[in-house]
Structure 1
Amino acid sequence: MYRAKTTIEQWRILQAVVDFGGYAHAANKLNKSQSSLNHAVAKLQDQLGVKLLEVKGRKAFLTEAGEVMLRRSRHLTQNVQDLEELAGNINQDWEPEITVAVDLAYPKKLLYPVLNAFYPESRGSRLRIIETVLTGTEEAITQGWADLAISPIMPKGFLGEPIAECSLYPVCHPEHELASLEGPIDPNELQQHLQLVIKDTSRTPSEKQGWLKSEQRWTVSTFETAVDLLLENIGFCWLPDFIVEHLIESKALHRLPIKGSSFRPLICYVVKPKPDSCGPGTNLLYQTLIKQSPFNTQFIEK
């Protein structure tokens, strides 16, 4: 039977030294002495026979071998954390708090009946519903800070159940210059006009979703603010059908026919970022979301 030369604590210390930019800062964060961290990393390198870090000035830098080993070690320590959380959840009581990340693209009118059904069974659990957008929703899943996430984005390595669908429409005021154009609008024409975009809730947003080619863009935090600006004949915006359909029908807003993409369909999924760590309350809410979703109803009817 193989016997490990190294310990999980040694790998965690190495990760901290790299993540916090050196031994001094890592020691402060871990509440340990700097000498103990130096000793742990030195022993780790001796046990492996591989140099992992090089100290230049006051900062520690990874060697090429260190970069590979560090990347693999993060999977190791995360697996250990997940395993320990699973052990804690096997016989756990009902969790005191459940955090749900809900992307703004998900129709909230579908959420409220779910919460109404969940509440009598919630056993007093506090529910934190945090609205997210784009990369912010993705991070709720990949970083695991939410117990559940409702997302139109499915990060690599995760699974989810479809619970809703919607479409994004490009819209503007009926008196906007774009509304007067006939036939499908060339996307190049859009680039000359102000585009309203919804702020990504990630701490490190990544503009890799949607059409963002306008030379001038204004960023707002909510769909409601975007609609208010559109009603003042300011810019154009891609917005969900459940937000703008009634405004299009009443002719308060105009739906733009764009060449190659007059709408963008979205499927929203409910995802367990850390499925093995879910408590009974989280699992119940997850099942309730699936049970009451339009997708489940369509499946039953068929």
Structure 2
Amino acid sequence: MNRAKSTLEQWRIIQSVVDFGGYAQAAEKLNKSQSSLNHAVAKLQNQLGIQLLEVKGRKAYLTQQGEVLLRRSRHLTQTVDELEQLASNLGQGWEPNLTIAREIIYPMQFLVDALKAFWPDSRGTRVTVIDSVITGTQELIDNNIADIAICGIPAKGHIAEFLCESDLYLVCSPTHPLTQCGIVADETELAQHLQVVIKDTATEKSVDTGWLKSEQRWTVSNFHEAKNVLQSGIGFCWAPAYLVEDDISQGKLARLILKGSKSRKIALTLVIPNRDNQGPASKLLESLILLQHDIDQNKP
């Protein structure tokens, strides 16, 4: 095995000399003697057989070769710094991984904004978001897969924090026969047409919920697939308002009003399945999700 000719400390020194504009300035910032920095850089250049710096007046400048190597060295030292920070975080109980179960009718933008705020302080934590449907979320909770769960139906045996309501619109293609009688449809008429539904993601004991009275059903995995089916002129579907409002305004989909039910409202809640063992990363991300809905855990 070949031994490295240089050390991380040498690269950090040369980075400091360049960043602070010279040996004297770097020595002051690093609390080292200027002669020790001169010696470290000279030794590095001798070991590599390449001149990295040249001094003009009182300032040190990178050579062309030095620019290339310094750029690569920054990636190296940053990676080591992150590795050491990660080790420290793990030692303090900071979770290396977090899994979020998201009921797919929960607007993803809320979660994206929370994760964006989480990123600067995430300390290398890897986040996995699992889209779940109906009892699939409960299954992820029961199987201890989810650290944070956003549920569309109440999670059995867990305290939940209300986040928001999701409006579900009844939609179909503008060319669908249901639109010919105006925007009003009744249950009897609706039941005679093909319904597009989203598959429950639970692997066991999945259940049907909502309005499912049509004998003819096509089941798909998500609402993006459902929209593709609808836009072909086939079927109707209950879909989250935030996913179909633009399609409705652009004339790609038509909204139907079912007598007695202008829209369906689903309460979305946040659950921490294992509150007693919740780690600091999970607590931070939970607070940031709640803030998306103007919920401050520190206020009564």
Q: TM-score range by the shorter chain?
A: 0.5 to 0.7
Check whether the contact 2:183–2:256 (CA below 8 A) recurs between aligned residues. no
* 2:141 pairs with 1:141: yes
Which residue in 2 is equivalent to 1:150? 150
- Post-superposition Cα deviations, 1:48-99, rounded to whole Å, max 9, x if no partner, equal xxxxxxxxxxxxxxxxxxxxxxxxxxxxxxxxxxxxxxxxxxx951011111
Distance 2:159 2:181 in 1: 43
The residue identity in structure 1 corresponding to 2:131 is E
Which residue in 2 is equivalent to 1:285? 285
Structure 1 position 165, deviation (Å): 2.4
The residue identity in structure 1 corresponding to 2:215 is E
Distance 1:188 1:295 in 2: 42
Instruction: Give the stretch that moved more between structures: 276-285 or 203-212.
Output: 203-212
Q: TM-score if structure 1 supplies the norm length?
A: 0.65
Check whether the contact 1:162–1:295 (CA below 8 A) recurs between aligned residues. no
Check whether the contact 2:155–2:271 (CA below 8 A) recurs between aligned residues. no
The residue identity in structure 2 corresponding to 1:161 is E
Spell out the pairing of 1:177-196 with structure 2 (5 A cutoff). 177-182=177-182, 184-196=184-196
CA, structure 1 residues 202+119, in 2 after alignment: closer, same or farther (shift >3 Å)?
A: same
CA, structure 1 residues 183+231, in 2 after alignment: closer, same or farther (shift >3 Å)?
A: closer
The residue identity in structure 2 corresponding to 1:284 is L
The residue identity in structure 1 corresponding to 2:148 is L
Is the partner of 1:210 in helix, strand or coil? coil
CA, structure 1 residues 284+251, in 2 after alignment: closer, same or farther (shift >3 Å)?
A: same
Check whether the contact 2:136–2:206 (CA below 8 A) recurs between aligned residues. no
Distance 2:198 2:262 in 1: 19
Check whether the contact 2:191–2:214 (CA below 8 A) recurs between aligned residues. yes
Distance 2:173 2:134 in 1: 25
Is the partner of 2:105 in helix, strand or coil? coil
Which residue in 2 is equivalent to 1:174? 174
Is the partner of 1:257 in helix, strand or coil? strand
CA, structure 1 residues 221+183, in 2 after alignment: closer, same or farther (shift >3 Å)?
A: closer
Question: What are the ranges of 5 or more consecutive residues in structure 1 without an aligned counterpart?
Answer: 1-90
Kindly report structure 1 stretches of 4+ aligned residues shifted beyond 4 Å. Answer: none
Distance 1:104 1:295 in 2: 21
Which residue in 2 is equivalent to 1:25? none
Is the partner of 1:144 in helix, strand or coil? coil
Structure 1 position 183, deviation (Å): 6.3
CA RMSD of aligned residues (A): 2.0
Identity %: 44
Is the partner of 1:256 in helix, strand or coil? strand
Distance 2:243 2:271 in 1: 24
Distance 1:269 1:261 in 2: 23
* 2:101 pairs with 1:96: no
Which residue in 1 is equivalent to 2:245? 245
Is the partner of 2:184 in helix, strand or coil? coil
- How many residues get paired? 208
Which residue in 1 is equivalent to 2:203? 203
For the pair shown, the structure with the greater C-alpha radius of gyration is 2
CA, structure 1 residues 205+180, in 2 after alignment: closer, same or farther (shift >3 Å)?
A: farther
Structure 1 position 237, deviation (Å): 0.4
Check whether the contact 1:142–1:155 (CA below 8 A) recurs between aligned residues. no
Which residue in 2 is equivalent to 1:234? 234
Q: TM-score if structure 2 supplies the norm length?
A: 0.65
Distance 1:188 1:206 in 2: 26
Question: What are the ranges of 5 or more consecutive residues in structure 2 without an aligned counterpart?
Answer: 1-90
The residue identity in structure 2 corresponding to 1:186 is D
Distance 2:205 2:182 in 1: 36
Structure 1 position 294, deviation (Å): 5.0
- Post-superposition Cα deviations, 1:186-221, rounded to whole Å, max 9, x if no partner, equal 201111100000111100243341111111100111
Structure 1 position 295, deviation (Å): 5.8
Check whether the contact 2:193–2:235 (CA below 8 A) recurs between aligned residues. yes
Which residue in 2 is equivalent to 1:116? 116
Distance 1:142 1:265 in 2: 25
Structure 1 position 245, deviation (Å): 0.7
Structure 1 position 109, deviation (Å): 1.1
Check whether the contact 2:138–2:156 (CA below 8 A) recurs between aligned residues. no
- Post-superposition Cα deviations, 1:251-293, rounded to whole Å, max 9, x if no partner, equal 2211111112221012211110111111111111111111122
Check whether the contact 1:140–1:273 (CA below 8 A) recurs between aligned residues. no
